[in-house]
Amino acid sequence: MAKIDTEVKTKFKNNKHRFIANLVFTSNWFRNSVIEYLKPYNVSFQQFNILRILKGAEDWITMNDIKNLMIEKSPNATRLADKLVEKGFVERKRSDEDRRVVYLAITDKGTELLKAIDNNPGSYMEFMTRITEEEAKQVSEILDKMRG
């Protein structure tokens, strides 16, 4: 991939402006890459995020907790979860104490899907082979610093 100046065909006022443009551009590039990568698996970016959250939870988790943990906050998280239930990737149950509370858990089929996605030779994370562990740490720290 070319440098950001070439990609957007502009000269930046300073490195901070270049950084912000590069951050937004790269974020969109990554998101679009993941979306394209996930198409054959018939899951959206947001559904994939829900599956990852459920896999990490290792137990039943409330729909509200899932909404709070999502990378891309989605007002239609319940509908996304419904589709995952229909596909057999997720199970749902209601609380016995409060019927408004809904719990989700990943199924074996959902876990197998995540394994297939991760083990595909053309993985969506393949670009990370071009970045060292130290570089990844530095960028992550910079992003954390930006958010205060």
**Distance separating alpha carbons of residues 141 and 61, to the nearest angstrom:** 29
Q: Quick check: is 47 in a domain?
A: yes
Q: Quick check: is 82 in a domain?
A: yes
| Domain boundaries, position 108 | 42-146
Q: Quick check: is 2 in a domain?
A: no
Q: Quick check: is 77 in a domain?
A: yes
- The two structure tokens encoding residue 125: 């994370």
CATH of the domain at 78: 1.10.10.10
* Sheet with 102-106, edge to edge strand ranges: 61-62, 102-106, 90-94
What string of pLDDT tens digits covers the 148 residues of the chain? 578 888 888 889 999 999 999 999 999 998 998 899 999 999 999 999 999 999 999 899 999 999 999 988 878 899 999 999 999 999 999 988 888 899 999 999 999 999 999 888 777 677 788 889 999 999 999 999 998 9
Helix (H) or strand (E) holding 105: strand 102-106
Question: How many domains, the chain?
Answer: 1
Q: Quick check: is 112 in a domain?
A: yes
Locate tokens 């994370």: which residue?
A: 125
How far, CA to CA in Å, does 74 sit from each of 61, 64, 82, 91, 125? Answer: 17, 11, 14, 20, 23
Q: Quick check: is 31 in a domain?
A: no
Locate tokens 């443009």: which residue?
A: 21
